[in-house]
């Protein structure tokens, strides 16, 4: 073939090769553009820990604020007047009942006792003479040597002498008591205050304060309860769920200002008979053992009183509960791996866990962590864990019931 006939064929071949290259490049551009518009890969579902709640029969505690009071608080005052000649105790220490505290000068009272005894002896002699004269008059009145009038006079004289003797003997007893009262003794066992008088001071019977003694073992914890609590307890007593503290020694636990827990144990012994119309509260107190005298009157404390009968409840960690304004809710996981919410009614802490009174079922798997990432319907991966008690159970009636296998509680 000549050159003129071959040139169109060569040009066509070159064009086809260029077109092929251009088409491949365009396809590559389209493919890259399509890849750049594709959605990113779906991230994995968040991993959360979940567990079954513990089941318990629990009781509620009601909280109160109060102070300790001495069961007996005695102001020691003299029963006779005189000068203080002896002080026989150290300030602030414990004293026994009947322990010698003060002595008032006994000499005037010893002299008065001696005088009273002499008067009694004189009255006894007068009575003996009156009886002898009456006996003679009684013998002579029958023979007519003594008139009936004289007989009656002798009889009256004998009666007067007997009365004088009785009065003199009473005076002796009174003077003996006065002499005994010159020694002032502690009327109760307890903690004595400081002495309010000094040696040589003159004190007045029934007026001068010598010192003060308070009983500290046992001791009262006194508090005021709101009218609403009183009504609740009355309703529970009527239904037989909880006995009234007026008749039953319901348990009380007390925490001091510097203590982390309720270490002091007591029992109710008194509920007043009326509600104060001004404050709407009713007085009550519990009795607490205090063998070492650590608790003193006036000491502040927080108390919790048995506040309900036993009821069934579920226990979960506090951090698993979300507060939404006035609502409290928890997240639970379903079989499809999605979370849902449950509105719950909560109660006190038991064994370090929060009581859930209603809104939750024993077989609900409660989400325990990662709550900030969750919304209803969120799909999650679940790591099943066991909910365990976090503190010793110190409730008066918290008994273990059958719990789901995955959340078996520790034996108490």
pLDDT tens digits, residue range 79-118?
A: 999 999 999 999 999 999 999 999 999 999 999 999 999 9
Q: What are phi and psi of 71, to 5 degrees?
A: -65, -40
Instruction: Kindly state the helix (H) or strand (E) to which residue 6 belongs, with its residue range.
Output: helix 3-36
Q: What are phi and psi of 109, to 5 degrees?
A: -80, -30
pLDDT of residue 409: 32
Collapsed DSSP state (helix, strand, coil) of residue 139? helix
Nearest C-alpha neighbor of 61 from the set 349, 286, 266: 349
How far, in Å, are 39, 77, 235, 282, 363 from residue 242 at the CA level? 64, 45, 9, 18, 30
- The two beta strands, 82-87 and 219-226, are unpaired
Strand partners, 94: 191
Query: Do 272 and 205 meet the contact criterion of CB atoms below 8 Å apart?
Result: no
* Structure token digits, residue 7: 């040139």
* Planar angle of CA 166, 167, 170, nearest 5 degrees: 85
pLDDT of residue 125: 92
The rounded distance, in Å, linking the Cα atoms of 45 and 382 is 10
Query: Do 374 and 322 meet the contact criterion of CB atoms below 8 Å apart?
Result: no
pLDDT of residue 407: 33
How far, in Å, are 54, 262, 325, 329, 392 from residue 340 at the CA level? 20, 37, 18, 10, 32
How many other C-beta atoms lie within 10 A of the C-beta of residue 334?
Answer: 12
Residues of the chain falling short of pLDDT 50: 1, 6, 10, 12-13, 15-23, 25-33, 397-412
Q: Is the dihedral of CA 352, 357, 360, 362 positive or negative?
A: positive
Sequence-distant (≥ 6) Cβ neighbours of residue 265 within 8 angstroms: 251, 252, 253, 254, 288, 289
The rounded distance, in Å, linking the Cα atoms of 154 and 140 is 12
DSSP secondary structure letters along 329-357: EEEEE-TTSBEEEEE-EEEEEETTEEEEE
Sequence-distant (≥ 6) Cβ neighbours of residue 352 within 8 angstroms: 389, 390, 391
pLDDT tens digits, residue range 106-116?
A: 999 999 999 99
Place of tokens 């019977």: 205
Q: What are phi and psi of 52, to 5 degrees?
A: -85, 140
Decide: pTM greater than 0.75.
no
Nearest C-alpha neighbor of 95 from the set 221, 211, 219: 211
């Amino acid at each position: 073939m000549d050159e003129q006939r071959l040139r169109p064929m060569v040009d066509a071949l070159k064009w086809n090769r260029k077109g092929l290259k251009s088409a491949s490049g365009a396809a590559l551009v389209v493919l890259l553009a399509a890849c750049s518009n594709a959605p990113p890969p779906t991230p994995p579902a968040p991993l959360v820990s979940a567990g079954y709640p513990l089941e318990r029969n629990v009781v509620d505690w009601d909280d109160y604020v109060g102070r300790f009071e001495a069961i007996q608080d005695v102001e020691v005052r003299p029963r006779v007047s005189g000068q203080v000649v002896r002080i026989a105790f150290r300030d602030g220490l414990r004293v026994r009942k009947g322990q010698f505290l003060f002595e008032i000068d006994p000499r005037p009272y010893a002299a008065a006792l001696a005088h009273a005894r002499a008067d009694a002896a004189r009255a006894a002699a007068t009575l003996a003479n009156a009886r002898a004269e009456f006996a003679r008059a009684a013998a002579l009145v029958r023979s007519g040597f003594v008139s009936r009038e004289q007989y009656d006079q002798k009889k009256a004289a004998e009666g007067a002498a007997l009365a004088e003797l009785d009065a003199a003997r009473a005076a002796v007893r009174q003077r003996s008591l006065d002499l005994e009262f010159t020694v002032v003794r502690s009327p109760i066992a307890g903690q004595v205050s400081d002495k309010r008088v000094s040696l040589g001071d003159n004190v007045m019977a029934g007026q001068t304060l010598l010192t003060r003694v308070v009983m500290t073992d046992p001791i009262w914890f006194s508090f005021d309860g709101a009218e609403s609590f009183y009504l609740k307890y009355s309703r529970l007593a009527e239904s037989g769920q909880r006995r009234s503290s007026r008749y039953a020694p319901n348990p009380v636990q007390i925490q001091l200002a510097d203590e982390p827990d309720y270490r002091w144990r007591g029992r109710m012994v008194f509920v007043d008979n009326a509600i104060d119309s001004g404050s709407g509260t009713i007085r009550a107190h519990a009795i607490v053992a205090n063998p070492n005298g650590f608790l003193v009157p006036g000491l502040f404390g927080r108390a919790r009183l048995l506040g309900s009968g036993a009821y069934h409840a579920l226990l979960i960690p506090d951090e698993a509960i979300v507060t939404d304004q006035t609502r409290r809710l928890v997240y639970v996981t379903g079989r499809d791996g999605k979370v849902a919410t449950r509105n719950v009614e909560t109660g006190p802490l038991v064994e370090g866990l929060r009581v859930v009174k209603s809104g939750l079922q024993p077989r609900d798997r409660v989400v325990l962590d990662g709550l900030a990432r969750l919304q209803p319907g969120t799909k999650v991966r679940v790591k099943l864990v066991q909910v365990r008690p976090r503190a010793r159970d110190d409730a008066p009636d918290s008994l273990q019931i059958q719990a789901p296998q995955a959340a078996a509680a520790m034996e108490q």
